[in-house]
Amino acid sequence: MSRALIIGCGGVAQVAIHKCCQLDSVFTDLCIASRTKSKCDKIKEELQNKTKTNITTKQIDANDFNALVKLFNEYKPEIVMNLGMPYQNLIIMDACLECNCHYLDTAAYEPEDVDDPTWRMNYEKRVKEKGFSAYFDYSYQWEYKDKFEKKGLIALLGCGFDPGVTQAYVAYAKKHEFDRIDTIDILDCNGGDHGYPFATNFNPEINLREVSSEGAYYEDGKWHSIPAMSIHSKYNFDGVGEKDIYLLHHEEIESIAKNYPEIKRIRFYMTFGESYIRHMKCLENVGMLSTTPIEYEGKKIVPIQFLKALLPDPASLGPRTVGKTNIGCIFKGIKDGKEKTYYIYNVCDHQESYKEVGSQAISYTTGVPAMCGAMLILKKIWTTPGANTLEIYDPDPFIEALDKYGLPKRESYNPIMVK
Ligand code: NDP
């Protein structure tokens, strides 16, 4: 018997809801709470006769601390899965502490208003001290470590695929394959085609903020920043074929570098097609990716939020997306005194995901790990309290759960390395 509450009802949340309902022996009671309640009601309607999970729906504005506390006190979830926006991570963590619930999310905190003077001051300081300029970083959420520890609660940070599974892959490689890891390349390939000239596969605001920012990688104890998209190469992906890959900054680099200080270099690459980059550059050049509000006919409009309203909803891409994703980590290091390379990854098919849960593979590869992480907390298999990323937990039960619930690992002991 466990009670879980999911915040958000977008692409990722809808997959997690399907998967929780498939595992109704663990997720016996599920509350879906989001800004637009009709979306929660629609999925409840679709699932309630196919599962024993008792589904409740609620309207919530996750920016409202008092409303969150009221909801959590009334529903009494053991875990709150924040599958909405990363802007509300801290407020939802506060509400979880207030109401004694575990917490889980899939993306590191970043503020909605990046012009807020207090946040900006801290941000400028961090850019100088650490050397990467992304809006997100884990410091805000790691500050909650003691508070969660003292209450014996877990805040599982970044439990999607990347971040999430990629960190579990690092822990798995260290546990089973290496005495010492020297380098990691995290490769995120989306070989899917949705047929639109331009669309993002997850929340457009977060996606475009991430991709249009400076890139960064970690080497010899330091961050190295590069202009956006300025390092690129090609890689031939199992199940997909050859794709252009671009070096980006990504949040798990920060936590892997912290938890495995012996690793000399960590890089993250993502695939992009020529059309995506051309559209993104053009939108950036005309100011449509700006997060700073402008006055338009007496109204304040945030350009990137207006753009989001024009773009296809990622949750609607499922029926039209064909092809596969391939996401994983390539390692170089030492085992028993000898140099070794190892690649662990998952290949996920957009149409198979759609047939199973009505969503494309980007939402699927995020929603399934979120369900698996929540399950391990609810079953008390992962018990270390605190605000933690995935590297610190035993990777084996998580990788086993992924194998079982839709994201099986593939391995190669002779991978082609990224040039
Ligand atoms: P969507 O935009 O599809 O869904 C976001 C949901 O959150 C919507 O249902 C939205 O409501 C709801 N929401 C937004 N603001 C509020 C609020 N103030 N109060 C309550 N609900 C709110 O996003 P995705 O599902 O694509 O992404 C969800 C999260 O997953 C993001 O943080 C994203 O960065 C992360 N992600 C992580 C990945 C990983 O591998 N780790 C990969 C992909 C995504 P409404 O329906 O009204 O708009």
**Contact (Cβ atoms closer than 8 angstroms) between residue 32 and residue 55:** yes
Protein residue whose Cα sits closest to atom 22 of ligand 1: 35
Q: What is the mean pLDDT of residues 185-204?
A: 94
The whole-number average pLDDT for the span 400-405 is: 98
Paired residues of 57 in beta bridges:
32
Q: Residue 55: beta bridge partners?
A: 30
Q: Which helix (H) or strand (E) holds 54?
A: strand 54-59
- Per-residue DSSP letter, 201: S
**Cα–ligand 1 centroid distance for 205 (angstroms):** 10
Atom 10, ligand 1: residue with shortest CA distance: 8
Give the separation between CA 286 and CA 302, rounded to whole angstroms: 14
What percent of the chain shows pLDDT beyond 90?
94
Distance between CA 143 and CA 300 in Å, rounded? 33
Pairing between β-strand 54-59 and β-strand 215-219 as defined by DSSP bridges: unpaired
Look at 400 and 291; give whichever has higher pLDDT.
400
Start-to-end CA span in the chain (Å): 50
Q: What angle (nearest 5°) sits at the alpha carbon of residue 394, between those of residues 393 and 399? A: 110
Report the SS3 class of residue 328. Answer: strand
User: 86 falls in which pLDDT band (50, 70, 90)?
Assistant: very high
Q: Whose CA is nearest to atom 4 of ligand 1?
A: 10
Q: What is the pLDDT of residue 413?
A: 98
C-alpha 204 to ligand 1 mean position (Å): 10
Ligand 1: lining residues by beta carbon, under 6 Å: 7-13, 34-36, 39, 60-63, 83-86, 88, 106-107, 158, 160-164, 202-203, 206, 314-315, 362, 366
Q: How far is the CA of 361 from the centre of ligand 1 (A)?
A: 15
Please give the single-letter amino acid code of residue 184.
I
pLDDT at 345: 98
- Separation of CA 242 and ligand 1 centre (Å): 30
Q: What is the pLDDT of residue 177?
A: 98
Element (H, E) at 208: helix 204-212
The answer to whether residues 374 and 25 touch, using CB atoms and an 8 Å cutoff, is no
Angle at 267 between CA 262 and CA 273, to 5 degrees: 165
pLDDT at residue 210, rounded to an integer = 87
- Residue 34 token pair: 């989001």
Quick check: 315 pLDDT over 90? no
Exposure string (b/e) for 127-141, b if CB count within 10 Å is 16 or more?
A: beebebbbbbbbebb
> Using CA atoms, how far apart are residues 49 and 136, in angstroms rounded to an integer?
40
- Supply the residue whose CA is at minimum distance from atom 26 of ligand 1: 202
CA–centroid distance, 174 to ligand 1, in Å, is 32
Cis peptide before 163 (omega within 30 of 0): yes
Q: Tens of pLDDT along 224-280?
A: 999 999 999 999 999 999 999 999 999 999 999 999 999 999 999 999 998 999 999
Atom of ligand 1 nearest to the CA of 11: 25
The Cα 140–Cα 143 span in angstroms is: 5
**Pocket test residue of 7, 12, 63, 89 for ligand 1, highest count of atoms within 8 A of CB:** 12
pLDDT at 328 over 90: yes
Q: How much is the mean pLDDT over the chain?
A: 96
**Which residues are CB-contacts of 151 (< 8 A; sequence separation ≥ 6)?**
97, 100, 385
Query: Nearest C-alpha to atom 37 of ligand 1 is from which residue?
Result: 106
Q: At what angle do helices 251-259 and 165-176 cross, to 10 degrees?
A: 30
Catalogue the E-assigned strands of 215-368: 215-219, 222-226, 232-237, 241-248, 265-271, 294-296, 299-301, 324-335, 338-349
**Ligand 1 mutation pick, 64, 88, 366, max ligand atoms within 8 A of CB:** 366
**How many DSSP H helices and E strands does the chain contain?**
15, 18
92 Cα to the center of ligand 1, angstroms: 14
- The residues spanned by each domain of the chain are 165-357
The CATH architecture annotation of domain 165-357 reads: 2-Layer Sandwich (3.30)
Which atom belonging to ligand 1 lies closest to the Cα atom of 314? 3
Contact of 344 with 329, CB cutoff 8 Å:
yes
Model pLDDT, residue 1: 80
Residue 379 near residue 394 (C-beta atoms within 8 A) = no
Alpha helices in 101-144 (DSSP H): 117-130, 139-142
CA 226, CA 215: separation in Å to the nearest integer?
5
